[in-house]
Amino acid sequence: MTAKAEARYVRTSPQKCRLVIDLIRGLKAGEAINVLKMTNKRMAPVVEKLLKSAIANAENKKNDVDVDNLFVSEAFVNEGPRMKRIRPAPMGRAYRYQKRIAHIVVKVSDGVVVEAGSEGL
């Protein structure tokens, strides 16, 4: 059984966010939360909140899920739309720069595979 949580349009560069996401991929959920609490990056609290949301989604999806057995099965960061901005430059010119946006996805699983037809039973 898997559960997913997404954070879309997060105002950070996907490259910076991937540094934090790579730390928790494949870890048990409780261990991943501890790693994120100790990580000194600006995105660590955002990813921690997202992981807690994925755990809560797993609990809501199935009442008898054991939270201690959950692990981070998938975690990835995609690039969102870029905000194009202009900075004044010498001699009446303008330099263009881009502010990047990230979409973060965290999936937790308990390792038990549910078949497609038996999910509603």
Answer yes or no: is 114 within a domain. Answer: no
Residue-number span of the structural domain to which 26 is assigned = 2-109
Contact 66, 100 (CB under 8 A): no
CATH code for position 66: 3.90.470.10
Answer yes or no: is 90 within a domain. Answer: yes
Contact 60, 76 (CB under 8 A): no
pTM above threshold 0.85: yes
pLDDT tens-digit profile of 66-117? 888 999 999 999 999 999 999 999 999 999 999 999 999 999 998 876 655 5
Answer yes or no: is 115 within a domain. Answer: no
Q: What is the mean pLDDT of residues 6-10?
A: 97
Q: What mean pLDDT value characterizes the chain?
A: 92
Answer yes or no: is 119 within a domain. Answer: no
